[in-house]
């Protein structure tokens, strides 16, 4: 059962990690809300508690360039934010709170607590939201899932990885900077494709999606929800490996 605990005078400590000692060094910050999930007492009288997940779609607020690729690449409302919205609908989680410049929703997948987040600052400053939220809710690096666009993947193709670099994505670069350079956190990449031939990048990004591409993105959102469920409940298991392999070849004709 998921529940919230009011603790006005308590302190939150960062978990420790040998690979990223500075970000995860023990610090104290004021706390008024924490999220936890637990199962009923077992036969030995002990409770099993789950570590929460922080799932973030990178992007910018506003409706500028709505419906264009630029909206995906820089404003990210047709992919990153839509993935968060898809998860919130599927799991019945209301996005109704503002914290650390972020629209958030607290809920669960199964018995595992999750925090959905859509930063309301510009994408280049996404780390200013992710860092404080991870600290406030005591979320370790391995449970911070970032959702973002990837031009090197065909439109609608997904890739789920346990860690990686920023790939010249300014939003990811900002997140890593605010996690003291750590890169050991999961990421879900959503393909938006590359410009055909010698087409100008800006012109490509300002194009609207074709009807076929829109269907591919919609299908990717549905598949992404299932992938996130699998990750939260079972971690990076063989199911995730099969998912990535299937995504790699899903639009290849044999």
End-to-end CA distance of the chain: 46
Q: In Å, what is the CA distance from 54 to each residue of 51, 148, 155, 212, 213? A: 10, 14, 25, 32, 29
Active site residue 70: yes
The two three-digit tokens of residue 189, written as one number? 């990449």
Sheet of strand 158-161, all strands in order from the earlier edge strand to the far edge: 97-99, 102-109, 112-119, 53-57, 144-150, 187-191, 158-161
DSSP state of 75: I
Q: Give CA–CA dist 54/244, Å, rounded.
A: 21
4: number of Cβ within 10 Å? 12
Q: In Å, what is the CA distance from 107 to each residue of 37, 53, 92, 150? A: 10, 10, 8, 28
Backbone dihedral angles phi then psi of residue 32, each to the nearest 5 degrees: -125, -5
The two three-digit tokens of residue 49, written as one number? 């508690």
Could you say which of 70, 143, 169, 178 is catalytic? 70
Q: Give CA–CA dist 45/28, Å, rounded.
A: 31
* Extended strands (E) in 45-157: 49-50, 53-57, 97-99, 102-109, 112-119, 144-150
| Residue numbers annotated as active site | 70
């Amino acid at each position: 059962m998921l529940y919230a605990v009011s603790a006005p005078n308590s302190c939150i400590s960062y978990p420790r990690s040998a690979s990223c000692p500075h970000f995860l060094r023990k610090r104290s910050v004021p706390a008024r809300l924490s999220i936890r999930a637990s199962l009923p007492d077992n036969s030995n009288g002990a409770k099993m508690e789950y570590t929460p997940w922080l799932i973030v779609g990178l992007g910018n607020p506003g409706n500028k360039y709505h419906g264009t690729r630029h909206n995906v690449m820089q404003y990210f409302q047709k992919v990153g934010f839509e993935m968060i919205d898809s998860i919130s609908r599927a799991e019945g989680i209301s996005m109704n709170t503002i914290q650390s410049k972020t629209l958030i929703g607290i809920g669960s997948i199964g018995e595992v607590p999750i925090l959905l987040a859509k930063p309301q600052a510009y994408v280049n400053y996404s780390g200013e939201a992710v860092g404080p939220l991870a600290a406030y809710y005591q979320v370790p690096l391995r449970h911070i899932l970032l959702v973002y666009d990837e031009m090197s993947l065909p439109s609608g193709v997904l890739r789920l990885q346990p860690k990686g670099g920023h790939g010249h994505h300014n939003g990811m670069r900002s997140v890593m900077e605010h996690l003291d350079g750590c890169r050991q956190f999961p990421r879900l990449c959503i393909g938006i494709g590359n410009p055909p031939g010698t087409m100008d990048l800006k012109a490509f990004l300002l194009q609207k999606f074709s009807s076929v591409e829109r269907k591919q993105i919609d299908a990717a959102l549905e598949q992404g929800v299932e992938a996130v469920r699998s990750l939260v409940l079972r971690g990076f298991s063989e199911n995730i490996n099969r998912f990535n392999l299937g995504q790699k070849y899903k639009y290849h004709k044999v």
